[in-house]
Each structure stands twice: as structure tokens, then as C-alpha cells.
Amino acid sequence: MYDFNYHRPASATDAAAARKAAADGVYLAGGMTLLPTLKQRLARNSDVVDLAAAGLAGIGRDGGTITIGAMSTHDSVATSSEVQSAIPALAALAGGIGDPQVRNRGTIGGSIANADPAADYPAAVLGLNATVHTDRRDIKAGDFFTGMFETALDDGELITKVTFPVPAAAAYAKFANLASRYAIVGVMAAKTGDGIRVAVTGAAGNAFRATAMEQALAGDFSAAALDGISVDADYNSDIHASAEYRRHLVGVMAKRAVGEIA
Amino acid sequence: MDIGGEHQIPAAREAVWRALNDADILRRAIPGCEELEKISDTEFNARITAKIGPVKARFKARIQLEDMDPPASYTLTGEGQGGVAGFAKGAAKVRLLDQGEGASVLKYEAEMRVGGKIAQVGSRLVRGAARKTAAGFFANFVAILGESAYGKP
């Protein structure tokens, strides 16, 4: 690890100011990706702005909306009684991320800001039509994920919270890498106020909606309605799964998720 | 690891060929390229910063053009040293097809290898990163051609 200046601001405003003043600063959320990267000397940031004390954790329900602070850990989402009762699929998704160490350190804000192609949360944000709130604006789920590790966030823009409209029903199914629990393919299916949504993570550079499946499910919400639908995408291919296998898994995971609801 | 692709370019084949041999255009088109120095007609030295998520690695690269068949094809080989991050090397066969009416098609097939830490920790991401870099290069290349004198007949 190279030397860096460490900041531990007490508010989001102070965090943004520290980040702005730094030559090459970076926010530290749970550190599940950033810390190994720094330790391996694969990044050399002049300043690390730790968000742990910035007051960004916390989960609440306001009518039909669940609000999750950016620094809420996966474990806190998985075990929240409010999330469990309003959006059980979201609690289950959070409970299936990584291992207990990751779930007790990793955060929702860190996960979606990092936008790892195999992360679970992007499927929830997109599938449940969440809104990402930053210190500057509100970003709709559909506009947020723009590429592999790329988001609509500007340099220094800080996620403060994520709001999820409570869906009529939702389920998440993933085919996990057995070592890391990363999604080789994960599918969130939901009946929302905005219609049927099917969001896929792990399969391509960034999470995306399977619109062909959404249309089929709008007429007949059943796993059988997905028979024969092959979702076109720029599929990833790596040592864990080929592009063809991922394409196949999207169909299988979508049927499992829909089957759980229907 | 093999990647490949095909891009429509709204410029005549000769103009595209000249641009593909122009150090300044290449520097502007290669994502993360900070410096590209022409050593000879077929050799370049480059400094490139590769960024994937939180990972940021600086590479010193040597690029050579071989099997020159103007204005139809060449083979581009490159080798980059990224210090502690590791190394990357690869070769790309680039072909230009004349479509007439000031339009051409560029096809490429590339193979590349990475080694060192970057391969250890990021093997699942290397192919995606390579494809993204290639896509970024061609998007920039087409845009630059559109605004420069190269695109005009």
C-alpha cells in the first residue's frame, strides 16, 4: 500500500469538501474492493475519504418507499425488519452477498458506486426501479449504470441514499460463484407500479433490463411465458462461464425468480 | 483471449489508412493515452493509463506496425509494462475494406495476454476491459476522422 492522506469527515458535506480539495481523492465506503486494490498497489490515491462517520447509514420506511442510507451494510439490509416485510426479495439479495465478513463491512452505496459487473445490488436497483440520491441530484435507476464499473456519477459526486418503491411482488434468483458468491448471473423479477421489470446482473458489462421477458410476462406472468426467449446482450465470457452459458443462465434464473412470485 | 469487431467509418479508405498511421490521431483515439511518440514509420512509444473501476495502472508501451499492405491492412503489435501491476501484450490484424462513396469498413481481430497482479486479481474483468478499450478507440477514431481534414475527399 502506498501512503495517502486519511480523512474521516463527520458529514456528507465535509466528505465532499475533503474529496474536492484532494489531488486524486477517493471515497472509502466498506472498502471491499478499494482496500484490496490499494493493498495490491493497483491504485495510488493521494487521499482516502472514509465515510464511516459521515452519518449515511440507516434504513426507514415512509409509506410505499424504503429508504436505505448509502453506508448501510449488506447485513443491516438483510436483517432489517422493515426491508424484510416490505421487500423480502431485497433482504434476501443482501443476505446472499459474499460472506459474513463482506456483509458486515460492504455497503449498498459502495456496491452501486463501484458497479462491478457481477455485483448483486445493481439488479435490485434496476429491477425495483430505485432512485439513487447523491449530494447533487437524484438519478433514476435506468440512467445510473452506464458500463463496466461505470455509472452516471460525476467525479466527486457522493451517493447519500437509495430509495426503493415497495413492489407488489419481487424475487431474486442468482447462480453464484461458489468461492466469492458473486453473481455469475442474477435476475431480479418484480411487479412494480411501473409495470413488470426483469433486471439482469453478472451477465454483461453492467446490469440491464430484459425487455423481451418483461413484455412476455406482461401478458402472462408465469415461468412458462419465458419459454424460448433468448435475451440478447453483450455477454461476458471468462474462466467462470462462457457467453453462451451466461445467456442460458439468464433464462433459467429468470424462470426461477418468476416462479417464486407466480 | 481473443476479441474482434467491425466498424463502419464514414471516410474513404486512403484517408482512414493515413489516419491509422498518424501518431497524433492515434494518441487522441487510444483511451487513456497520455503520450505517443513516433520512433519511425512503423514504431511508436506510448504512455497509457488504464483504468478499470478503482484500479489505475500506468503502462509504458511499445507499438509496432508490421505486414504493411497500404491501404488495405497491417498488423499492430504492442507490449506494455505496468510496473507492479503487471504486463500486457497483444497483436491486432487490422483490415480496411473500401465501401465506395467515401465510406469504409474496418475489421480487426486481436489476441492479447496479460500477466502479473492485474491478471491475478482481475482475470474475470480483463476481456471486458479489452473490449471496452477497443470500442472506445474506434468511437474516438471515427469522431476524430469526422472533424479533421482526413474525412474530406
Give dist(CA B140, CA B61) in Å, integer.
Answer: 20
pLDDT digits (tens, 9 = 90+) for B34-65: 999 999 989 999 999 988 888 888 899 999 99
Do B132 and A43 lie within an 8 Å CB cutoff? no
pLDDT exceeds 60 at position A237? yes
Cβ(A182)–Cβ(A152) below 8 Å: no
Report the mean per-residue pLDDT for chain A: 97
In chain A, DSSP finds a helix count (H) and a strand count (E) of: 11, 14
Do A236 and B127 lie within an 8 Å CB cutoff? yes
Q: What pLDDT is stored for residue B121 in this prediction?
A: 72
Q: What pLDDT is stored for residue A50 in this prediction?
A: 98
Kindly report the pTM of this predicted structure: 0.89
pLDDT exceeds 70 at position A13? yes
Q: Which residue of B has its CA nearest to A27?
A: B54
Rounded to a whole number of angstroms, the distance from the CA of A84 to the nearest CA of chain B is 31
Q: Which residue of B has its CA nearest to A206?
A: B128
Q: What pLDDT is stored for residue B124 in this prediction?
A: 78
pLDDT digits (tens, 9 = 90+) for A34-69: 999 999 888 999 999 999 999 999 999 999 999 999
Sheet order of strands, B103-115 included? B2-9, B103-115, B87-100, B73-81, B55-69, B43-52, B33-40
Q: What pLDDT is stored for residue B148 in this prediction?
A: 66
Do A37 and B128 lie within an 8 Å CB cutoff? no
Q: Mean pLDDT, to the nearest integer, of A14-24? A: 97
Q: Which residues pair with A50 in a beta bridge?
A: A28
Give dist(CA A99, CA A252) in Å, integer.
Answer: 24
Q: Which residue has the cell 463502419?
A: B8
Q: In chain B, positions 46-65, which contact chain A (CB-CB < 8 Å)?
A: 52-57
Q: What pLDDT is stored for residue A261 in this prediction?
A: 95
**Mutate which: A26, A45, A149, vs B, most B CBs within 10 A:** A149
Percentage above 90 pLDDT, chain A:
95
Look at residues B70, B62, B29, B25 and name the one whose alpha carbon lies nearest to residue B43. B62
Cβ(B124)–Cβ(A118) below 8 Å: yes
Q: Phi-psi bin for B100: left (phi > 0), alpha (psi -120 to 50), beta?
A: left
Give dist(CA B142, CA B153) in Å, integer.
Answer: 16
Contacts of B57 in chain A (CB under 8 A): 42
For chain B, which ranges sit under pLDDT 50? 153
Q: Would you state the cell numbers that stand for residue A146, as one nine-digit string? A: 452506464
Q: What pLDDT is stored for residue B4 in this prediction?
A: 86
Upper half-sphere CA count for residue A46 (Cβ side, 13 Å): 8
Rounded to a whole number of angstroms, the distance from the CA of A83 to the nearest CA of chain B is 29
Distances (CA, A) of A5 to A18, A45, A250, B58: 10, 9, 43, 21
The residues on A that touch B, with CB distances below 8 Å, are: 26, 33-34, 36-37, 40-44, 114-118, 147-149, 205, 234, 236-240
Q: What pLDDT is stored for residue A6 in this prediction?
A: 98
Residue A33 — pLDDT band, cuts 50, 70, 90? Answer: very high
Give dist(CA A262, CA A137) in Å, integer.
Answer: 36
Look at residues B67, B22, B28 and name the one whose alpha carbon lies nearest to residue B44. B22
Which value, in Å, is the radius of gyration of the alpha carbons in chain B? 15
Q: What pLDDT is stored for residue B115 in this prediction?
A: 87
Domains of chain B with bracketed CATH: 2-148 (3.30.530.20)
Q: What pLDDT is stored for residue B149 in this prediction?
A: 60
Q: Mean pLDDT, to the nearest integer, of A136-144? A: 98
User: Range with the lowest mean pLDDT among A142-146, A157-161, B64-68, B82-86?
Assistant: B82-86
